[in-house]
Chain A
Amino acid sequence: MTRPDASAPARTWRKPPFIANPWLRYGLWLVLVVYLVWALGTLPFNWERISEGLPRAARIFGGGFPPSFERGGLLLTGFKESFQIAILATLLGVALSIPFAVMAARNVAPLPVYLFGRAVIIVSRSFHPVIVAILFVAAVGFGPLAGILTLTLYSIGFVGKLLAEEIEEIDWGQVEAMKATGAGYFAILIYAVFPQILPRQVGLSMYQLDSNLRASAVVGIVGAGGIGGTLMNAFGRYDYDFAFAILLTIIAVILISEGISGWVRKKIW
């Protein structure tokens, strides 16, 4: 170690800026400020209506306390239907996502099949479940069938995409080994591909069940059955205390299902 030289000025260091060009750096800030002023200035906020609404919101919240579990039967029926929808849709969606994932994986599917598989997954992922639910309610009518179809499609899109990416990253050596034995295409899939993606598949299914349970409450609002419908009715009848009871139960159920699925996924990994 050398002694610090008292005569030399202390050396300083500053972290180099993320964007080196100062014009660009300050220009971006300016653009952001201009945008915010423009957006807030031109979007039609009706301040009068908002100030009227605040006491109304307070009244709704006030009416919600204490939450009432008096109509527990209705609550139970709604949740039972939501669970049925979520579990059925998960089973269907996960089962169907496997063939679509295989089709959408470039390393195991020929180009035309790959494009078809990708297209199916992209289409089923491009709309939020609520929009899909509106379409299915229009097509098959109010009730749980619309919910099941919606969430099945949603599951195919999500699980199919992630599974396809998983297939594209498998250890190709195992596939080569099975090819070398003279195995056919499907035997290779079953022996060399599926065992490699199995843990991921189970983890995704657990996550999807969790996610479908959440989504089943939302799609119920547009008439696709389940607890969402019960919630909508409660609001419609100004039954705020019952609506709050439903909301609290949804939170509790989601917390529990998240805990369980997290635990299962950790066990499987």
Chain B
Amino acid sequence: MLEISNLVKRYGHDEAVLKGLDLTVEGNSVVAIVGASGAGKSTMLRCINRLVEPTSGSIKLNGNELVKLRGAALRRARRKIGMVFQGFNLIDRLTVMENVLAGRLGYVSLYQAISRRYPPADIERAFSLMERVGIAHYANKRADELSGGERQRVGVVRALMQEPEVLLADEPTASLDPRTSEQIMILLQSLASELSLPVLINIHNVSQAKTYTERIVGLRHGKMIFDGAPSDFNQDALDAIYGGIEAPEEEVAEVPPTAEGVSHDQA
């Protein structure tokens, strides 16, 4: 369970980006966080694994307070928080397998990391997760040789290698074409239920958020102004979140996700 309470983040002396945010995510629910650029979505996600330092407030993961952690304790806490990035953030010059195993860096010794002698259990987990998302045959390919969708799968597997207790996805589909981004959303949705993992997804695409998540949280100017089921997310909510800001015309891609997505899920 992830509990965020009264989270405030202020960069320098500027106006706060997050103004006392409260959010609780339980079980294996998939939560979409929507909002215009600059609403604080990304900052909120990064506060959870402390890539951004919160100014004040509290973030608890399964009862552990994350905000005050430092040094080794912070690194231990980060192992339990997987993150998927918009730009994938893979190590381009390393192989897919090395990228996937990098998800274990918080667990292995420096010597094991340098010599790539990961424990057999890690390698087994890497192969089975890569098989699950359909990239196992790329194990020895360089990460920058893959297509966007494949690279994001590597990113997802890397995050899952951490055996996370929560998965954060910061605009995981924004760099992908519509069809591929559908596939990634389906993947995240099904992984959440398979691994009973809560997933927080920052997303610009409102229709995808409504289709693939169970709960939508709307942010505007650092405050939560909507929290409810996708079916309750109507035009009023959309106007409240994007009102005065030109909302991009986004539709679920024409191609139905069934063919590609489902076959992929069985893989």
Chain A residues at the B interface, C-beta cutoff of 8 Å: 171, 173-174, 176-184, 186-188, 190-192, 195-196, 198
A225–chain B nearest beta-carbon distance, Å: 36
CB-defined contacts of A191 to chain B, threshold 8 Å:
91, 94, 98, 102, 105, 113
Decide: B92 and A190 in contact? CB cutoff 8 A: no
Decide: B51 and A183 in contact? CB cutoff 8 A: no
Decide: A181 and B51 in contact? CB cutoff 8 A: no
Decide: A187 and B105 in contact? CB cutoff 8 A: yes
A84–chain B nearest beta-carbon distance, Å: 30
- A195 to B89 CA separation, bound complex (whole angstroms): 13
Interface string of B106-128 (1 = CB under 8 A from A): 11001001100000000000000
Decide: A174 and B90 in contact? CB cutoff 8 A: yes
> Which residue of the partner chain A has the closest CB to B102?
A191
Interface size on B, residues (CB 8 A): 33
CB-defined contacts of A176 to chain B, threshold 8 Å:
51, 85, 89
Decide: B113 and A190 in contact? CB cutoff 8 A: yes
- A187 to B106 CA separation, bound complex (whole angstroms): 9
> Which residue of the partner chain B has the closest CB to A179?
B51
Chain B residues at the A interface, C-beta cutoff of 8 Å: 49, 51, 75-79, 81-83, 85, 87, 89-94, 98, 102-107, 110, 113-114, 155, 158-159, 161-162
Decide: A195 and B83 in contact? CB cutoff 8 A: no
Main secondary structure of the interface of A (DSSP, over half): helix
Q: Which of A179, A190, A192, A195 contacts B78 (CB 8 A)?
A: A179
Q: Which of B81, B87, B90, B98 contacts A180 (CB 8 A)?
A: B81
B100–chain A nearest beta-carbon distance, Å: 11
Decide: A195 and B51 in contact? CB cutoff 8 A: no
CB-defined contacts of A186 to chain B, threshold 8 Å:
110
CB-defined contacts of A183 to chain B, threshold 8 Å:
75, 102, 105-106, 113
Decide: B92 and A180 in contact? CB cutoff 8 A: no
Q: Which of A171, A177, A187, A192 contacts B83 (CB 8 A)?
A: A177
- 10 closest A-B pairs (Cβ-Cβ)? A182-B106, A183-B105, A182-B79, A177-B89, A182-B78, A173-B89, A180-B83, A195-B93, A182-B75, A187-B105
- A178 to B102 CA separation, bound complex (whole angstroms): 7
- A174 to B106 CA separation, bound complex (whole angstroms): 15
A107–chain B nearest beta-carbon distance, Å: 14
Q: Which of A173, A182, A187, A192 contacts B87 (CB 8 A)?
A: A173
B168–chain A nearest beta-carbon distance, Å: 8
